[in-house]
């Protein structure tokens, strides 16, 4: 099945894939915050959302952030779909934040699945899994860092991202189905690494959205991670706390946690809501401060682990 003279594509030195085979564990939230953190530190950064559900944490579509490239719309996953369909370079939305460009996910990314399946049967064979890596190659020199958000519960899309990046970060929650989700990414990781991307390594795994004081539980999850991903898997020490309300509100507003936290001083209070002067949506929860600090600690630690993985 494999072709001897297939050209492999070496991923950019600083390219991070956030992935696990379970939905709703925090992949998109972490990917967008990691990309924004790198951009804020001065790295020219590209976030590529290889997911058919566009959560739009950065407000690209909902709040019209960034500059759309010339030509047909790249929103709703159309840019990613078109680049792979037409075998052309990706055209990101530019300057969604200073130094940060984004290839948005969305419905059209789901349409890649039948396209990839059809091409898999043709002369390209498994090389089709390198489609995203190839679409990135011409624009990679413009960036210092590329971050991939990956799709849950879809092997083809997960493999596309794994074939295009160098470091894999695996977030998980503590429940059994999240642990099972890691088994799926472990399987895809092994086959992509063996057949198409020998540069791929697991840079780290981490527990996401959990009660920070549940240390016994954390130890158990670390055991589960090592059992699933291998004894030598680096495990990050930061555990971002479970804080549903500020996380949900920030996403709705298309704001990073740190940006949402800046609204705290001017926030309406619960008594304003009770008096009918404001709506619940105008109240910024105090917990955004802790959430911002946790996320900053996590993204800082991720970059540390990424450096270690590079050797």
Cβ proximity to ligand ATP, 108 vs 240, nearer residue? 240
Q: Applying CB under 5 A, which residues contact Mg ion?
A: 27-28
Is residue 29 at the binding interface for ligand ATP, with CB under 6 A as the rule? yes
Is residue 152 at the binding interface for ligand ATP, with CB under 6 A as the rule? yes
**Least distance from ligand ATP to the Cβ atom of residue 194, Å:** 25
Selection from 138, 61, 141, 68 nearest residue 101 by Cα: 68
The item of ligand ATP, Mg ion, none sharing an interface with residue 12, based on CB under 5 to 8 Å by kind, is none
Cβ proximity to Mg ion, 22 vs 218, nearer residue? 22
Could you count the other beta carbons within 10 Å of the beta carbon of residue 197? 23
Q: Which two tokens stand for residue 135?
A: 């679409």
Q: In Å, what is the CA distance from 38 to each residue of 205, 206, 272?
A: 19, 19, 37
The item of Mg ion, ligand ATP, none sharing an interface with residue 248, based on CB under 5 to 8 Å by kind, is ligand ATP
Is residue 209 at the binding interface for ligand ATP, with CB under 6 A as the rule? yes
Is residue 240 at the binding interface for ligand ATP, with CB under 6 A as the rule? yes
**Least distance from ligand ATP to the Cβ atom of residue 176, Å:** 16
Angstrom distance (rounded) from CA 238 to CA 220: 15
- State how beta strands 201-210 and 167-172 pair: parallel
**Least distance from ligand ATP to the Cβ atom of residue 152, Å:** 3
Among 13, 41, 43, 55, binds ligand ATP (CB under 6 A): 55
Q: In Å, what is the CA distance from 217 to each residue of 127, 221, 223, 239, 240?
A: 41, 6, 10, 12, 14
Among 26, 77, 104, 127, binds ligand ATP (CB under 6 A): 26
Among 9, 17, 25, 80, binds ligand ATP (CB under 6 A): 25
Among 14, 27, 33, 184, binds ligand ATP (CB under 6 A): 27
**Least distance from Mg ion to the Cβ atom of residue 148, Å:** 11
Cβ proximity to ligand ATP, 9 vs 239, nearer residue? 239
**Least distance from ligand ATP to the Cβ atom of residue 252, Å:** 9
The item of ligand ATP, Mg ion, none sharing an interface with residue 89, based on CB under 5 to 8 Å by kind, is none
Residues near ligand ATP, by CB under 6 A: 23-29, 51, 53, 55, 152, 209, 240, 242-244, 247-248, 251, 291
């Amino acid at each position: 099945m494999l072709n001897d003279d297939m050209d492999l594509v070496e991923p950019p030195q600083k390219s991070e894939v956030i992935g696990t085979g379970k939905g709703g564990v925090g992949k998109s939230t972490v990917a967008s915050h990691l990309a924004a953190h790198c951009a804020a530190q001065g790295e020219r950064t590209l976030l590529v959302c290889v997911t058919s559900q566009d959560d739009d944490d950065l407000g690209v579509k909902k709040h019209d952030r960034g500059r759309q490239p010339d030509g047909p719309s790249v929103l709703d996953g159309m840019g990613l779909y078109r680049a792979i369909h037409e075998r052309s370079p990706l055209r990101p939305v530019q300057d969604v934040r200073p130094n940060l460009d984004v290839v948005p996910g969305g419905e059209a990314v789901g349409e890649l699945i039948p396209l990839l399946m059809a091409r898999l049967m043709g002369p390209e064979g498994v090389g089709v899994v390198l489609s995203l890596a190839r679409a990135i190659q011409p624009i990679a020199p413009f960036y210092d860092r590329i971050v991939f958000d990956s799709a849950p519960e879809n092997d083809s899309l997960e493999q596309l991202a794994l074939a295009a990046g160098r470091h894999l970060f695996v977030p998980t929650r503590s429940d059994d189905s999240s642990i099972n989700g890691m088994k799926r990414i472990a399987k895809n990781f092994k086959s992509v690494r063996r057949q198409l991307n020998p540069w791929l390594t697991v840079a780290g795994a981490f527990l996401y959205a959990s009660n920070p004081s549940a240390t016994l539980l954390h130890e158990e999850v670390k055991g589960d991670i090592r059992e699933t991903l291998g004894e030598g898997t680096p495990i990050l020490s930061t555990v971002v706390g479970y804080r549903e309300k500020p996380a949900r509100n920030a996403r709705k507003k298309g704001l990073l946690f740190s940006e949402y936290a800046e609204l705290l001083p001017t926030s309406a209070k619960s008594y304003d809501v009770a008096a009918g002067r404001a709506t619940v949506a105008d109240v910024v929860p105090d917990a955004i401060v802790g959430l911002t600090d946790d996320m900053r600690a996590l993204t800082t630690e991720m970059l540390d682990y990424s450096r270690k993985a590079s050797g």
